[in-house]
Chain A
Amino acid sequence: EAGVTQFPSHSVIEKGQTVTLRCDPISGHDNLYWYRRVMGKEIKFLLHFVKESKQDESGMPNNRFLAERTGGTYSTLKVQPAELEDSGVYFCASSQMGPANSPLHFGNGTRLTVT
């Protein structure tokens, strides 16, 4: 099966610009998660979708970040306007509904650099 795919793999933008990251989960996975790793720090939870609904967005850093999952398939994470501290690697993960211990499948991540 195809894995979780993220696009782009790298993005370099200037402070104040807008960037949209995309995540395509594994087909049939209703759970979709966004995580972020700022340079040298731990990977941190951002939010969780169940199908098209935001189940938990407690990790979103501020209102410059907007995540959507229209139709319950792929998801986008928009940063507008980007700030220097937004630089990092953004990971997407998906899993099946069902047992709470269904494994998480991660994408390769998008490396965002804000200059």
Chain B
Amino acid sequence: AQSVSQHNHHVILSEAASLELGCNYSYGGTVNLFWYVQYPGQHLQLLLKYFSGDPLVKGIKGFEAEFIKSKFSFNLRKPSVQWSDTAEYFCAVPQRNTGFQKLVFGTGTRLLVSP
């Protein structure tokens, strides 16, 4: 079965620091990848996704992620975080052969940005 690993469970940064959250997935071949974010008290929302093409994907709010097939990775980055980026971040892949919506999630990374 597919799995997703997020190695950083808690990250604390000061405003303006750079962010990189790790995500590794367990299988090769055709892969689609997602990052979701849940801000405090809000619903999970899509931050960015990779389906094909340019492996460097731009998302909302200045986030980007790079798909590196050889490393089975899809790390999330932001050059300069803001206090409003405090949230929990989830990497996800679709369960194989089930379309794009039956997702396998990582355990999440809780980011705290101090002002």
**Residue B30 interfacial (CB < 8 Å):** no
Contact of A103 with B46 at beta-carbon distance under 8 Å, contacts A42-B105, A48-B102, A56-B102 already known: yes
Q: Out of A3, A42, A43, A102, which one reaches B101, CB within 8 Å?
A: A102
A107 and B43 form a contact (CB under 8 A): yes
Interface contacts beyond A41-B107, A100-B101: sample of 15 additional A-B pairs, CB < 8 Å, sorted by A: A40-B107, A42-B108, A43-B105, A43-B108, A44-B105, A45-B103, A56-B98, A93-B44, A100-B99, A100-B100, A101-B32, A101-B51, A106-B43, A106-B45, A108-B43
Scan residues 55-69 of chain A and give those whose CB is less than 8 A from a CB of chain B.
56
What size tier do the contact residues of chain B reach?
Answer: 20 to 34
Task: Identify whether the interface residues of B are mostly helix, strand, loop, or mixed.
Answer: loop
Q: Write the nearest CB–CB distance from A9 to chain B, whole angstroms.
A: 9
B100 and A108 form a contact (CB under 8 A): no
Distance, CA A31 to CA B101, complexed state (A): 9
A45 and B102 form a contact (CB under 8 A): yes
Q: Write the nearest CB–CB distance from B98 to chain A, whole angstroms.
A: 7
Q: Which residues of A contact B42 (CB under 8 A)?
A: 108
Distance, CA A70 to CA B51, complexed state (A): 34
Scan residues 20-74 of chain A and give those whose CB is less than 8 A from a CB of chain B.
31, 33, 35, 40-45, 48, 56
